[in-house]
């Protein structure tokens, strides 16, 4: 909440605020190869990740209620992460998303199995949904 | 190969549809290693990225193209206490950071 008011302070009147972030959801994990894609597992949001998302949503509802910003548009789109191997993906998840997302052991095993039988151009992919909201400073 | 993010450029497409960056003074909050910055900075007037992670800041500064040196700056700062005067920026981007 305070961060949004601080952002309002540094924006010119009628300035634009773009909020770009992933939507808390089950992110599908899969293997892509030869133009085909096969989603076989999901990442799961941890309670802390869901709480952060909820807090952000609440803050934006509050600044809209106060009239500090006016929502002009909102759209969603897909965002893809790729790795050469399941192990590289797992390392990344553990290093970068450890506090908000988890890949269950069964899901990782399923990804490894699928990757092992895919073509030589195989890559591992995580698909997430993004939301981009444009606000106008009031 | 390290993690490859959005090679399709979907995010870039939607970001550039969401605002006209031409000649605008942009603040990117949570600029990280500059991955998103490079996707719009070429058309912006000036860009300031703020980030708390020192390593990410170093990477962003190191990767900054020579042609952007005079127009793109990265600063270690917290979004709760932005070190800028009021009404400085035309556009603020909360980049995966809220």
Between chains, do A59 and B98 touch, taking CB under 8 Å as contact?
yes
Return the SS3 of A55: helix
Q: Is the pLDDT of residue B48 over 80?
A: yes
Between chains, do A134 and B86 touch, taking CB under 8 Å as contact?
no
Work out whether the CA dihedral A88, A90, A95, A97 comes out positive or negative.
positive
A39's tokens: 């989603």
ipTM score for this prediction: 0.94
Between chains, do A21 and B98 touch, taking CB under 8 Å as contact?
yes
Residues 6+ apart with CB under 8 A from B47: B25, B26, B27, B28, B37, B40, B41, B68, B71, B72, B73
Per-residue pLDDT of chain A (138 residues; tens, 9 = 90+): 689 999 999 999 999 999 999 987 889 999 999 989 899 999 988 887 788 888 888 999 999 999 999 999 999 999 999 999 999 999 999 998 888 888 999 999 999 999 999 999 999 999 999 999 999 998
Chain B residue with minimum CA distance to A136: B91
Between chains, do A10 and B84 touch, taking CB under 8 Å as contact?
yes
pTM of the predicted model, to two decimals? 0.91
Mutate to test the interface with A, among B14, B17, B23, B24 (most CBs of A within 10 A): B14
- Min CA distance, B72 vs chain A (Å)? 17
Chain A residue with minimum CA distance to B2: A83
pLDDT, one tens digit per residue, over B52-95 is 999 999 999 999 999 999 999 999 999 999 999 999 999 999 98
Q: How many CB atoms lie within 10 A of CB B76?
A: 12
Q: Which residues of B touch A (CB under 8 A)?
A: 1-8, 10-11, 14-15, 18-19, 27, 29, 36, 79-82, 84-98
Residue A44: is it exposed, middle or buried by C-beta count within 10 angstroms (0-12/13-18/19+)? Answer: middle
Chain B residue with minimum CA distance to A15: B90
């Amino acid at each position: 909440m305070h961060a949004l008011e601080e952002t309002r302070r540094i924006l010119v009147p009628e300035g634009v605020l773009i909020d770009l972030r992933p939507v808390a959801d089950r992110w599908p994990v899969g293997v892509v190869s030869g133009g085909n894609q096969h989603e076989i597992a999901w990442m799961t949001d941890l309670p802390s990740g869901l709480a952060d998302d909820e807090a952000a949503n609440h803050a934006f509802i509050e600044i809209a209620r106060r009239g500090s910003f006016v929502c002009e548009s909102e759209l969603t789109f897909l965002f893809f992460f790729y790795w050469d191997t399941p192990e590289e993906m797992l390392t990344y998840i553990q290093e970068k998303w450890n506090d908000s997302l988890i890949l269950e052991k069964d899901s990782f095993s399923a990804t490894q199995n699928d990757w092992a039988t895919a073509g030589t151009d195989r890559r591992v992919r995580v698909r997430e949904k993004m939301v981009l909201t444009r606000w106008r400073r009031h | 190969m390290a993690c490859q993010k959005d090679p399709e450029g979907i995010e870039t497409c939607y970001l550039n549809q969401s605002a006209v960056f031409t000649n605008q003074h942009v603040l990117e909050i949570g600029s990280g290693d500059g991955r998103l910055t490079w996707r719009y900075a070429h058309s912006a007037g000036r860009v300031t990225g703020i980030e708390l992670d020192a390593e990410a800041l170093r990477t962003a500064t190191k990767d900054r193209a020579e042609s952007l040196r005079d127009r793109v700056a990265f600063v270690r700062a917290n979004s709760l206490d932005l070190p800028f005067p009021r009404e400085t920026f035309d556009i603020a981007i909360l980049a995966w950071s809220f």
